[in-house]
Homo-oligomer: A and B are copies of this chain.
Amino acid sequence: MKPTLYSAWRASAPYRVRIGLKLKGVDYNYSALDLVHGQQREAAYQAVNGQMLVPTLDLGDGVRLTQSLAILEWLEETHPQPPLLPKDPLDRQRVRTMALIVACDIHPVNNTRIGKKLAEFGIAQDVVVKDWIHTWIREGFDALEPLVAAHGKGFAFGDTPTIADCCLVPQVYNARRFNLDLTPYPAIVGVADGAAAAHPAFQAAHPNKQPDAVPA
């Protein structure tokens, strides 16, 4: 049975999982949630994912996987080819570090629920973008850039895609959505616009290719 991915076209976390599924050649059904109108907080989805966040990967028979990085690790363990982690433990640590800089320290502080709360606090949207979203992306990218420069050879770590790229590419998409100047990050941008942009899996997982994409 094909798994079903609960997703939203522009959201970073399901975008990561789409890249992973495409890289592993796993076919899936696509179920879209309208985050702008809060569909993820309706009872129907809360029954699927108690955290009311995307993604969820529904394997059928009541087995539902959440948390994008835990899904990617599960994919790696159940579908080993092509590998999304190197073999050496220290190299694996590096790749996971890159992924977690995005998945822990950039993305969660900039996501939809946080933006809503800042608006409730009366913080103007332009302040949120320039003094919050940009700040946390920059702090994360400042740490990521030298790691990618040191370890990347086309992709973020070496010359094949890893879970670091699954996280990095959606974060670059997100940074551009909020008009962050990426000039200080040539290694990061080089991955996103180079090897990743040219790879069919990354192309297929792109927000604009999703059924729920809203044309610009």
Which residue numbers of A lie inside 8 Å of B, CB to CB? 50-51, 53, 63, 65-67, 69-71, 73-74, 77-78, 89-90, 92-93, 96-97, 99-101, 103-105, 107-109, 113-114, 117-118, 121, 123, 127, 131-132, 135, 139-140, 142-143, 146
CB of B104 within 8 A of CB of A104, answer: yes
CB distance from A113 to the nearest CB of B (A): 8
Q: List 10 A-B contacts (CB under 8 A).
A: A50-B142, A51-B142, A67-B100, A70-B96, A74-B93, A77-B89, A100-B103, A103-B104, A108-B108, A117-B131
Of B67, B69, B90, which is within 8 A of A74 by CB?
B90
CA A107 – CA B105 in complex, angstroms? 9
Of B69, B105, B127, which is within 8 A of A100 by CB?
B69
Given A74-B89, A92-B73, A67:B109 Cβ within 8 A: no
Tell me whether chain A's interface is mostly helix, strand or loop, or mixed.
helix
CA A194 – CA B163 in complex, angstroms? 36
Of B70, B92, B131, B146, which is within 8 A of A50 by CB?
B146
CA A67 – CA B132 in complex, angstroms? 22
Collect the chain B residues with CB atoms within 8 Å of residue A90's CB. 63, 74
Collect the chain B residues with CB atoms within 8 Å of residue A121's CB. 118, 121, 123, 127, 131
CB of B104 within 8 A of CB of A67, answer: yes
CB of B92 within 8 A of CB of A77, answer: yes
CB distance from A100 to the nearest CB of B (A): 4
Given A51-B139, A74-B90, A96:B67 Cβ within 8 A: yes
